[in-house]
Amino acid sequence: MISGKLTKAAWDPANMDAWKKKGSLTVPSEGSFEETGIVPWDIWKEWETHDIRRDARKLTMPILFVVGANDNITPAKDVQAFVNALPNGHQKNQLIIIEGADHRFQNSNGIVLESQLSQHVGTFIDTLDL
């Protein structure tokens, strides 16, 4: 998540209202990447104050940003906004958008797109002077 306010703005208000009324949100997992969980409504107290762009100027190392094209928690446009907030950018920073992937890098069938994710991470690591 780049910013809680950006995330909230991207979500369907009806779903937000239902979450608030129920007091919690059940996050199902159709794949093996993440377990089912319960997210309390009160998490918004922290999420709405969260904005990592405030500390972007402190980041000087190369960063790989990977996001699913169907990610509604951290949309690609929000990640791009964070990349743009980095001071002068770093020549090795990369933003990769994985088509068909959600926030957990799963496709619509619940299959984790591990090979695409691994490939991009490996390629990025190969560009670093280690």
Q: Are 71 and 102 in contact (CB under 8 A)?
A: yes
For 57-111, write each residue's pLDDT tens digit. Answer: 888 888 999 999 998 888 898 898 888 878 766 678 889 999 999 988 988 888 8
pTM: 0.71
Give the SS3 label for residue 33: coil
Amino acid, single-letter form, for residue 72: N
Per-residue pLDDT tens for 38-57? 778 888 778 888 888 888 88
Spatial distance between the Cα atoms of 73 and 67, rounded to a whole number of angstroms: 10
Pairing of strands 94-98, 37-40: unpaired
Give Cβ neighbours of residue 105 (< 8 Å, ≥ 6 apart). 33, 66, 68, 98, 112, 113, 114, 116, 117
